[in-house]
Structure 1
Amino acid sequence: MNLPNDRKYTASHEWVKADGDVLVVGITDNAQDQLGDLVFVGDFKVGNTLKAGDTAGVVESVKAASDIYAPVAGEIVEFNTALEGQPELINASAYEAWIFKIRPANAADLDGLLDAEGYRQAQG
């Protein structure tokens, strides 16, 4: 399983990478592989304030739709609009194609997420 060590992970297959005072969020290679060819990424509303675990938006593939969850409490500050016309960017490079950015209510919440080894173990 390909897992960069420069970010944190959630048990629900999101990856999270700090970028200044915001967190960049995407889905893991494992998640995109399970979903198959993505056909839609959306419903992310800039300005929404979410609690950790709240649904931030959705990705849809030819197989299924899957909610994407906020990894920490905070406000969505940006959506990767390139994905509106090219959701397959996630299939091509899951760790480069971020989905949204969130400004955390508490930056220390990032420390509570899984590291690469913890995510690997959580996947069995």
Structure 2
Amino acid sequence: MIPEDLHYSEEHEWVRVDGDVVTIGITDFAQDQLGDIVYVELPQVGDAVESGSTVGELESTKSVSDIFSPVSGEVVSRNEALDGSEEVINSDPYGEGWLFKVRVDEDATDGLLTPEAYAALTSG
């Protein structure tokens, strides 16, 4: 199921917009492809991130995958609850499994996919 209230990147991150701060995580499709996530490396609070740039990584029992920032701005929060509880990304990718938050200074949804476009990308 693809939540209708989010925007998506082609690299399988989701974006939830709340004013000038966006919350970023990976999609259910991405966590399913990765398998059991055992380690996560996130950007630090205060880091400047650029849309499309690598900002961290996820390690699963199958592989290591880069985390890309779907927006440009400054990291204002990271999900510290994932430290030692990385499996939350698998069980609740759109809720408690969020990764980090960025304060953006432009339209955060520019260049991102609608739920319908993301569904088409992942359907085959």
Which band: TM-score by shorter chain? over 0.9
* Whole-Å separation in 1 of the counterparts to 2:7 and 2:78: 19
Unaligned runs of at least 5 residues, structure 2: none
Unaligned runs of at least 5 residues, structure 1: none
User: 1:50-76: CA deviations, max 9, x gaps?
Assistant: 111011211110111111111111111
* Whole-Å separation in 1 of the counterparts to 2:49 and 2:94: 23
How far is 1:43 from its partner? 3.7
* Whole-Å separation in 2 of the counterparts to 1:24 and 1:50: 13
Q: Which residue of 2 aligns with 1:102?
A: 102
Amino acid at match of 2:82: L
How far is 1:111 from its partner? 3.8
How far is 1:120 from its partner? 1.1
Q: Which residue of 2 aligns with 1:32?
A: 31
* Whole-Å separation in 2 of the counterparts to 1:6 and 1:99: 17
* Identity within the alignment, %: 48
| Contact map agreement 1:75 1:105 (CA 8 A) in 2 | no
Q: Which residue of 2 aligns with 1:12?
A: 11
Higher helix share: 1
Deviating 4+ runs (over 2 angstroms): none
Q: Secondary structure at the match of 1:41?
A: strand
- Does structure 1 residue 54 correspond to structure 2 residue 53? yes
**Structure 1-normalised TM-score?**
0.93
- Pairs aligned (count): 122
- The CA RMSD over aligned residues, in Å, is 1.1
* Whole-Å separation in 2 of the counterparts to 1:29 and 1:118: 15
- Does structure 1 residue 44 correspond to structure 2 residue 71? no
* Whole-Å separation in 2 of the counterparts to 1:37 and 1:55: 21
User: 1:91-111: CA deviations, max 9, x gaps?
Assistant: 1111112100011131x1314
